[in-house]
Structure 1
Amino acid sequence: MYIASRERKLLSILLDARGEVKVKELAKLLNISDRTAHRDLNQVETTVAKFNLQLNRKQGIGIKLSGQEENIHRLQATIASLEQTDYTIEERHAIIFLILFEADEPVKLFTFANELNVTNATISHDLDQMEEHLNKYGLRVYRKRGLGVELEGTEAAKRKAISSFIADFLDPYEYITMAKETLNKQSSSPQNSISNRLLGLVNPQKLERIEEEVQQVVGKLLPNLADSAYIALVVHLALAVQRLEKGDHIKFDPKYLEELRTTNEFSTASQLIRRLEQSLHLYIPNDEIGYITMHLMGAKLRVEQNYMIEDSSMDTAYIAKELISYVSHRLHVGLSENFSLLNDLVTHLKPAVYRIKQGMNIKNPMLEEIVTDYEDLFELIKEAVTELFPEVDFPDDEIGYLVLHFASALLSGEWEVDLRALVICSSGIGTAKILASRLMQKIPEIKQVDNRSMFEVEDIKAGYDLVVSTIPLKEDENDYILVSPMLQQDEVERIKRWVRKQKLQKINKKKPQQEKGEQSNAYTEKLTVMQKYSGITIRLLDAFRITHLPEKASLLNVLEKACKQLADEKVITDEKKVIQKLIEREQISGLGIPDKSLALYHTRDDAIDKASFTVYALKEAVTVKGMDGSDQSITRILLMLAPKEIEQESLEVLSFLSSLLIQSDSITRLFESGKETEIREYLSEQFFNFIQQKA
């Protein structure tokens, strides 16, 4: 049986789809016109009929392949078993890349041509087309006259590219499942030549061992790791082991590796690598630990995270604050005081920026849905990171995660939004009334619903945020949602997605109104929480002081005097060690707050006995490196210290204190020139509000 490549691709899309697919979407995926897609679908309809399957076409909704599961599986098996002499362009590019990826020497053009049953000229043209795509990963195709073609780039770049290819052709979970089935020789899933080649990149037996070790170590130490991150980690390790056995090693920045050693993720990664070395009888370099650490740090957790002083440095917090200000200004909303959003962004941005600079791949499985649901917000944040991170090329996958953080803050319910909906049916009565009632019941943002018959509708966009209809309309299918009168659950979800988009568009300049929380009977628990945070903040306030240095001093002299004073007060036990840690921290990145005369020096170490926040006013300005990388003059040093082992509540208080320093220009000016009593009074007020929120 012969099925042309484009028809095979159409069938694959319909087989993989969970629901209806619109013709426009099919045309876009295949890079063809709507008319051509309709013509191809006629041939598809003939093909599926031979398997007792049908193409169900619903006007305004899309096309869906339907029939008995047995017949659907038979069609899948037939497509997979066809002798593929007619590959799609994407399939040819994938096979060419896989051959280059595994080759240890240049590959001649005729090798590709024989493999793919095309001419040398076609292969040469394919290589030209692939060049731009491979450049995104830091790779290039190098053609050696008389010898052939080879892939040039770092090992990290090659792994990034191959991970992306796997994600493009197979779901990572499906990849692991198929590898296990291959091991047990009981594969029930049809496999094509691309799948077989991808499966050949890993050893199924070792993959199974790797998954067992990941489950043992990561499952215990990071129980909230998302499933997608868990699967991605297993695939990454399986590929890494195979490459290491071939002698292909990656390089990790030793300076950043040293900084990562203090994180929980590094400890987890180290334990995992040591177990894998024993299980697989393979030496694994420390550079691999760095990459595994970055995978864990970048993973999406199902629990809310708070950033810590050392885990996320203040320069990252400053950029995150700038990003929030940028979005707030453009959307006319007040997000600058959203401490939770700041925490989430800092937690995400620091490992994200490093991943991007090192060419490490991260796949966002929700990207298409994010772009569809939050198109304007996506473009705004893309514009913002381009301006704020001029030296970092943020891929769309990373931007998608940033969009989710902002969307969560914007849609948290702090902004009241009233939407007006129009319901259309054949008569405007009966089913329209039922649907209107269910809409207001299921979608609380909809405050008003009008009913119209199909004969009364002229311009469905006029004055309405949402239009739903029980009958197909002549208007563009993107202008309304076609539903059943009783409003099924999948239709409710589609409407909710539409509402999210409308809600973002309607957010206005009003400062968010704090919702009145539900009263709780657990007063004792609240008092206990307040007492704990109160004790921490009172100790910080009691120890807070501004020390005016009477004579000119170098930066090192200032740190020495500050640490001696704190040692006398039993805050620190080893002055030299703390000074060294502060200097090392400064060398990692700047500590000067941009455009201000302040610098925030901070560290955590076991030579520090208790948390401390003090200010040192200099007689003459000194020059330090700013958080934005430029040199700046400072007249006050803010010194924040904390023990290496410290309770979570203390870290939250210090994190909150850090965020206050960059809240606004007026607050920064207070720390620049304010008196000790003024700053203590301000901190007391802010800590009081912080504790009330915690309770």
Structure 2
Amino acid sequence: MYVSARDRKLLERLLADDREMTVGELAEELNVSARTIHRDLQGLESVLRRYGLELVKKAGVGIRLVGEKKQKQTLAAELLHLSHREYTPEERQLMILIALLEADEPVKLVSLANDLNVTVATVSLDLDKLEQTVEAYGLSLIRKRGYGVELTGSESAKRRLIGELLFRHVDEHEFLALMKETIQRRSDDPLDTVAEKLLGLVDRKKLAVIEQQIEQVKETFPFTMADSSYIAFVVHLALAIERIKRGEAIHFDPRDLQALQATREYEIAEALAESLERAFGIDIPKEEIGYMTMHLMGAKWRSRQGMVMEEPSLAVGMKAQQLIRFVSRELGVDLSTDRTLYEDLVVHLKPALYRLEHGMGVANPLLDQIKQDYAELFAIVADGTKQLFGDVSVPEEEIGYLVLHFAAALMREKKGWRALVICSSGLGTAKILATRLKKEIPDIVSLEQASVFEWKEKDASAYDLVVSTVPLADEAGSYFTVSPMLTEEEARAIREFLERKSAAEKRMRKESTAQRNRPALEAMKAVRRISETIIHLLDGFSLEVVKGRSVHELLADACRRLERSGVIVDADVVIEELRRRESLGGLGIPGTTLALYHARSFAVLRPSLTMYRLDAPQTVPGMDGEPMEINTVVLLLGPSDADKEMLAVLSEVSSLLVKDEQSLAVLAHGGEEEVYSLVSAHLEQFFDHYWTSTKE
């Protein structure tokens, strides 16, 4: 079968959406006239008949591709593997860029022209358009007569360009499918599609080996990495190994590298590098380990437990609270008590801000749809980020993701069905679909998200509804396959399905699944661990006024006093850990007069919260790197083997330090009884929320 590049794009668009689309929509997307679309559609009818498909046209409504799902999949597969004798201008420019990234020496224009079946003049025009693209990454095109064309710039910039090209032009599900397919394919098979060409930049035989090495160190990861970040990390490592072998070196500022070497992520990257060195017989320099560390620090994570206790997260937590208060004021809806919203924002913002500060960027393929569906909320969040993150420019792609968190929070209080959303990443697409589901079906009250890698661990019977953006294996049971933006037809089918479920059946299932998913004994043990941690903190709480001592002196005295009272077994070990944490960055909380010194150590036997009021202000580095004056030191300690319940309580104490102006005023100036009342009330509220959630 042969179809032109434009016809192929038109077919792919019709196959991608079950809803009616107008000729005007198609013309705008393909950047041609409506008359051209009409002419192309007539020419495609014979192609569609061969696959048992037809175009149904409704006056005033639009055009829709109709036929059996299996036949649509067959046509889609044929288009994917079609030998491209003709490319669209965008695809052609991308192919040229890939060729330049692969090349070790200048490439002749005539060679590019022959490969793409176009003239040298066309290639020259394509290069004119590509110059602006590569300049945005700090790269340049060197073009000389008789020399050819060469892509020049730093190795890190080239890798960033490769990574972004992959994730911009290959969605996560397609990426996973192509990855599996290309691993099985012979290395000398031709790569015809743009997606396959992009994947050709990565040695597909190395991917499985890299994943094995990651599995060996995965348990040391602080949290579960989202699949989108996991895929990006695997691709980065494959690119790094490929280019290390070619002698392409990463250059790193020694000061930046030294700062990275003090982080937990560097320890993980170093262990992984040793494993990769053995597997591939190469030497990985420290600069490459630093680059791996940056990817880990910029990765998206799933778990929230304990994240707020880390000092960078506490600084982010303050920004999250400020953003929540800003949006609440603008909407006239109080979201400040939504614990899930706060924790989700901290988890999202911490790596997001790191990515932005280091120019790593993020893609958001459904940004236009988010802006259309949540226009008012998008404008409010954009205004909030501009006011609160003035030193960091937040792009619309990141704002789009933040909007989804707030949209989900606005729907959180509604009662009804339990649903599970599955997509290839378990994050971005799932979050969008979850938000659309709640918008279309307001009776959904509980909505979990999982990735394709995780769904086998889920008990489908625990949910009233399971929807997926990707096909699942046969043993997945009953579920709906839908598009990420959830068409009206898909929403209607889901509503009809839910309407057929009787209220009695739903109640019975909720009771039985509650027994399966939250065994009474385990739930009670978790509640006990929560309450024990709270009791330890409140029983040991004190606020002491300190006179004539520096911050380091009072911390040393405090640790020795806690050693005498049996809270810790070795004061010197804890003191050293506190100093180590301080060396990683400031501990003063910007916008307050508080500093949080905290540590988890084997020398700490039980959790402890104590506070120290200084008789005179002292200057310490803030978490934003700026010097600041403090009058109060908060000392928060926990055992190194703290379970998730204890970490949740410690994180809750940390979140109090950035909660609101009223709480900050009490912490900074209140007496011991007043501060104790504030802390105990805050932890009581947390316990009530936890206890209620165990009974749902």
- TM-score relative to the length of structure 1: 0.74
What is the 5 A alignment of 1:133-172?
Answer: 133-143=133-143, 147-170=147-170, 171-172=174-175
1:593 equivalent to 2:579? Answer: no
SS of 1:201's equivalent? coil
Report how far residue 676 of structure 1 moved.
0.8
Residue equivalent to 2:545? 548
- Residue 657 of structure 1 is aligned with which of 630, 653, 657? 653
1:183 equivalent to 2:193? Answer: no
Residue equivalent to 2:433? none
Give the Cα–Cα distance (whole angstroms) in 1 for the partners of residues 526 and 223 of structure 2. Answer: 26
1:681 equivalent to 2:645? Answer: no
User: What one-letter code is carried by the residue in structure 2 that aligns with 1:155?
Assistant: E
Gaps of 5+ in 1: 417-439, 446-480, 496-517
SS of 1:335's equivalent? coil
1:533 equivalent to 2:534? Answer: no
Give the Cα–Cα distance (whole angstroms) in 1 for the partners of residues 678 and 618 of structure 2. Answer: 27
* More deviation, 156-165/556-565: 556-565
* More deviation, 398-407/241-250: 398-407
Give the Cα–Cα distance (whole angstroms) in 2 for the partners of residues 120 and 394 of structure 1. Answer: 40
Give the Cα–Cα distance (whole angstroms) in 2 for the partners of residues 292 and 538 of structure 1. Answer: 41
Give the Cα–Cα distance (whole angstroms) in 2 for the partners of residues 74 and 549 of structure 1. Answer: 76
Report how far residue 402 of structure 1 moved.
2.7
Which digits, 9 at most, give the CA deviation of each residue in 1:172-220, with x for residues without a partner?
11331331242388x8xx9625355334323333234334445566499
* Residues 1:681 and 1:373: Cα distance change in structure 2 (over 3 Å): same
Residue equivalent to 1:321? 321
Give the Cα–Cα distance (whole angstroms) in 2 for the partners of residues 71 and 92 of structure 1. Answer: 26
* More deviation, 298-307/644-653: 298-307
Conserved 8 A contact 2:594-2:668: yes
User: What one-letter code is carried by the residue in structure 1 that aligns with 2:8?
Assistant: R
Residue equivalent to 2:638? 642
Give the Cα–Cα distance (whole angstroms) in 1 for the partners of residues 613 and 182 of structure 2. Answer: 64
Give the Cα–Cα distance (whole angstroms) in 1 for the partners of residues 231 and 274 of structure 2. Answer: 20
What is the 5 A alignment of 1:46-65?
Answer: 47-49=47-49, 53-58=53-58, 60=61, 62-64=63-65
- Residue 666 of structure 1 is aligned with which of 662, 665, 668? 662
Give the Cα–Cα distance (whole angstroms) in 2 for the partners of residues 21 and 372 of structure 1. Answer: 17
SS of 1:392's equivalent? coil
- Residue 489 of structure 1 is aligned with which of 478, 482, 493? 493
Report how far residue 101 of structure 1 moved.
0.9
The structure number with the bigger radius of gyration is 1
Report how far residue 119 of structure 1 moved.
5.0
Report how far residue 666 of structure 1 moved.
1.4
Give the Cα–Cα distance (whole angstroms) in 2 for the partners of residues 522 and 67 of structure 1. Answer: 44
Conserved 8 A contact 2:80-2:193: no
* Residues 1:316 and 1:356: Cα distance change in structure 2 (over 3 Å): same
Give the Cα–Cα distance (whole angstroms) in 1 for the partners of residues 124 and 440 of structure 2. Answer: 60
Report how far residue 623 of structure 1 moved.
1.9
Conserved 8 A contact 2:211-2:234: yes
Conserved 8 A contact 1:138-1:359: no
* Residues 1:11 and 1:526: Cα distance change in structure 2 (over 3 Å): closer
Identity %: 38
* Residues 1:70 and 1:144: Cα distance change in structure 2 (over 3 Å): same
Alignment: residue pair count: 607
User: What one-letter code is carried by the residue in structure 2 that aligns with 1:257?
Assistant: L
Conserved 8 A contact 2:142-2:149: yes
SS of 1:333's equivalent? coil
* Residues 1:531 and 1:644: Cα distance change in structure 2 (over 3 Å): closer
User: What one-letter code is carried by the residue in structure 2 that aligns with 1:549?
Assistant: V
User: What one-letter code is carried by the residue in structure 2 that aligns with 1:631?
Assistant: P
User: What one-letter code is carried by the residue in structure 2 that aligns with 1:202?
Assistant: V
Give the Cα–Cα distance (whole angstroms) in 2 for the partners of residues 219 and 536 of structure 1. Answer: 25
User: What one-letter code is carried by the residue in structure 1 that aligns with 2:175?
Assistant: P
Conserved 8 A contact 2:317-2:346: yes
Conserved 8 A contact 2:544-2:611: yes
SS of 2:134's equivalent? helix
* Residues 1:175 and 1:675: Cα distance change in structure 2 (over 3 Å): same
What is the 5 A alignment of 1:594-613?
Answer: 594-613=590-609
Residue equivalent to 1:105? 105
Give the Cα–Cα distance (whole angstroms) in 2 for the partners of residues 569 and 580 of structure 1. Answer: 19
Report how far residue 90 of structure 1 moved.
0.9
| Two-structure CA RMSD over aligned residues (Å) | 4.3
Residue equivalent to 2:688? 692
* Residues 1:302 and 1:570: Cα distance change in structure 2 (over 3 Å): closer
Report how far residue 76 of structure 1 moved.
6.0
Conserved 8 A contact 1:599-1:637: yes
Give the Cα–Cα distance (whole angstroms) in 2 for the partners of residues 101 and 381 of structure 1. Answer: 38
* Residues 1:13 and 1:305: Cα distance change in structure 2 (over 3 Å): farther
Conserved 8 A contact 1:325-1:335: yes
* Residues 1:412 and 1:255: Cα distance change in structure 2 (over 3 Å): farther
Give the Cα–Cα distance (whole angstroms) in 2 for the partners of residues 414 and 146 of structure 1. Answer: 69
Report how far residue 620 of structure 1 moved.
1.7
What is the 5 A alignment of 1:359-378?
Answer: 359-360=359-360, 362-364=362-364, 367=367, 370-378=370-378
Give the Cα–Cα distance (whole angstroms) in 2 for the partners of residues 274 and 368 of structure 1. Answer: 43
SS of 1:207's equivalent? helix
* More deviation, 677-686/286-295: 286-295
